[in-house]
Structure 1
Amino acid sequence: MASLAISPLLMIIMAMAISILKLRAAPDEGYDIGVNYGMLGDNLPPAHEVVQLFKQYGITKMRLFDPNHDALEALRGSKLLLSLGVRNEDIPSIGSSPDAAYQWYAAHIQPYQNDILWAYITVGNKINLFSQDPISTNLVPAMKNLRTVLNNNGLPNLFVTTVLAAEVLGVSNPPSAGDFAPAVKPIMLDILTFLSTTNAPLMVNLYPYLAYAGDPVHISLDYALFNASEPPVVDGALKYYNLLDAMTDAFTYAIERQGIMNVGLTVAESGWPSAGNGQITTPELAQMYNRNFVNHILSRLGTPKRPGAYVDAFIFAIFNENQKPPGVEQNWGLYYPNMNRVYPLF
């Protein structure tokens, strides 16, 4: 019997169909995607109810920005994969003292070590790498000290990384020109060398909404929302149908320009606000972005530069948080604090 050849286009269509079906799957099957659990609100539900919310809707991964012990207690036995943050202000002591690194582990990981599924330790969040302050200068030493502690205490496979904002890129368009800003290249090389030797990904915040809101003349809404029918950006042989892929590949090119070829990326934050900036922040647009984002991640299609490469990802965020600045900042949540949906997603 003659074999049937499947065209690349048909393979892509099949992958997208599978991803859509997976998004609509029963909650107990789970979605291979995470959600950020921010706590800047005075009306948020208790942590044990939040963990149940994640489980109810099949969200399998949670990112905490710092070691909140109510949340860590609630996560015991939950089988949620956890990304746990080290506060920026704790980095100088951890970086300058192996004993401080052990004390951080002993306080925030060891009591829960056997009851929580651990994925990442994120050392710092959006650190200002342009500044030569004690936080930035101790970032890589802190990562190294925590890596040693985890290796010595039965957690060699727990990734130690950091979370960066897109501002570290000096050039991002076209993606193949992606490069880090000159001022941060020395520390980026140190970060990437550490990640390369420990097989850990770099975590980055990628927000097509912010790019579109800042330049709606040159960036189309369809491109930002994964809805473009033709590639708005053609970069050599690579065609970009959505802005997230372009942002991701710009980071990849920048990493490779540092001579590091084996560091992947995890999207630590991405999302779309449902209010706060007129007609470009509605529940409908937020739902459209996040649904397309989830489908894109679940498709395992990778990016034009790295087709088929797995990209781990976290949506920002689980709740609207009323202690953030008024406007857009208060409206990134998938749920209201009373745990009603802002819009259906999971």
Structure 2
Amino acid sequence: MIAFVALLVSTLIIAPASAQLIGVCYGMQAANLPSPAEVVNLYRSNNIYRMRLYGPDQAVLQALANSGIRLLMDVPMTELQSLATSSSAAMDWVLSNVAAHWPSVTFRYIAVGNEAVPGDLAQHVLPAMRNVHSALVTAGLASHVKVSTSVGAEVLESSFPPSAGAFSTDASTFLSPIAAFLANTSSPLLVNAYPYFVYADNYAQVSLSYALMNETGTVVQDGEFAYTNLFDAMIDSVHAALKREGVQQLAVVVSESGWPTAGGYGASVLNAQTYIKNLIRHVGRGTPTSPGKLEAYINGMFDENLKSPEVERNFGLFKPNMEPIYPLNFVGDRPEFDGQSESIFSGNIRLIVSLHVPS
């Protein structure tokens, strides 16, 4: 139980010289969420300038106008088949949901399906990707907006050690041509990576500190590469699997990652805060086989009480009333400073909530 909440007002925020490429997923499966305009202001006031949106919600897109927030937006699973079978449907979708809001909304990626591979809808993913990409070409936006799909850990048949990473036969059937398409269009593969679930399902074999990125020494030595955390191992196993498909230099963007505060083994406010803090710090380094900045999106902005099972309801950084669940310290990733090496100063007043938990 929280003993007390201390409020500290700071009139100057200094961001580290290297802005991290961190975004937050804006899920809406919850009651009593703030208005889209309030949510966009919440992102900006916390220096969060990247968002994942799980479908083209018009109210959110209007609220994002001229906000400077870069957007990863999904094609909902219910629309995969129609976009795969009809180029005109894909054109209509792009015109209504992307072109109509460009350039006041900065779209970065369109995720055609979320964890649709493998599965009943997997056959529609690549045709839909091709049609959406062609529509973006026609609209003159293909050089700005990249088309991809988001996959989860279930696509891997082997992941240990990371260099042995390989897609399952069912996943490879679809991911091999998808990876070739991504390489041809200079687009990344979007990957949902959750060390939490690996830890919770294998806590007798996986240490908590390895999953939370708290280790300082090598836990897994894989040839010339040393792994101190499970997150890196998971991402590099995807890189290895892609290379087995013949794609050598495909970028990976982490489209979801997070840690729950309740509802499952190892779920707690302290563990969630530790993981997110370490993730924000870590992504600027990349992984052992792919050093450099790694773009990642945290799941999620709010606790979502309409999800199931229980653990899925507790990944939020904020309560629906916009109260932070634990202290936040995002690096300023404003568009005007993207990729530059300089300190960022802000005169905005920031509210920092310090939670004190008794032992």
Query: What TM-score do you get using the length of structure 2 for normalisation?
Result: 0.85
Secondary structure of the structure 2 residue equivalent to 1:222: helix
Counting only pairs closer than 5 Å after superposition, residues 267-306 of structure 1 correspond to structure 2 as 267-277=254-264, 280-297=266-283, 300-306=284-290
CA shift for structure 1 position 275: 1.1
Who is 1:338 aligned against?
A: 321
Secondary structure of the structure 2 residue equivalent to 1:59: coil
- For residues 316 and 224 of structure 1, the distance between their equivalents in structure 2, rounded to whole angstroms, comes to 16
Who is 1:53 aligned against?
A: 42
- For residues 46 and 19 of structure 2, the distance between their equivalents in structure 1, rounded to whole angstroms, comes to 8
The amino acid of 2:215's aligned partner reads: A
- For residues 196 and 153 of structure 2, the distance between their equivalents in structure 1, rounded to whole angstroms, comes to 13
Residue in structure 1 matching 2:84, options 91, 95, 108: 95
State the identity as a percent.
Answer: 40
Alignment check: 8 A CA contact 1:320 1:330 kept: yes
Who is 2:52 aligned against?
A: 63
| Structure 1, unpaired ranges of 5+ | 1-23
RMSD: 1.5
CA shift for structure 1 position 262: 1.9
Who is 2:103 aligned against?
A: 114
- For residues 197 and 336 of structure 1, the distance between their equivalents in structure 2, rounded to whole angstroms, comes to 41
Counting only pairs closer than 5 Å after superposition, residues 226-265 of structure 1 correspond to structure 2 as 226-265=213-252
The amino acid of 1:289's aligned partner reads: Y
Counting only pairs closer than 5 Å after superposition, residues 312-327 of structure 1 correspond to structure 2 as 312-327=295-310
- For residues 253 and 30 of structure 1, the distance between their equivalents in structure 2, rounded to whole angstroms, comes to 27
Counting only pairs closer than 5 Å after superposition, residues 144-223 of structure 1 correspond to structure 2 as 144-157=130-143, 158-223=145-210
Who is 1:142 aligned against?
A: 128
CA shift for structure 1 position 277: 2.3
Secondary structure of the structure 1 residue equivalent to 2:285: coil
Can you list the C-alpha shifts for 1:46-84, whole angstroms capped at 9, x where unaligned? 111000000001001000010111101100111100111
CA shift for structure 1 position 307: 2.4
- For residues 51 and 184 of structure 1, the distance between their equivalents in structure 2, rounded to whole angstroms, comes to 36
> Is 1:74 equivalent to 2:57 in the alignment?
no
- Closer, same or farther in 2 for the Cα pair 1:58/1:107, shift >3 Å? same
Who is 2:341 aligned against?
A: none
Secondary structure of the structure 1 residue equivalent to 2:14: coil
- For residues 64 and 195 of structure 1, the distance between their equivalents in structure 2, rounded to whole angstroms, comes to 21
The amino acid of 1:303's aligned partner reads: T
- How many residue pairs get aligned? The number is 315
Query: What TM-score do you get using the length of structure 1 for normalisation?
Result: 0.88
The amino acid of 2:185's aligned partner reads: T
- For residues 288 and 33 of structure 1, the distance between their equivalents in structure 2, rounded to whole angstroms, comes to 16
Who is 1:17 aligned against?
A: none
Secondary structure of the structure 1 residue equivalent to 2:160: coil
Alignment check: 8 A CA contact 2:256 2:297 kept: yes
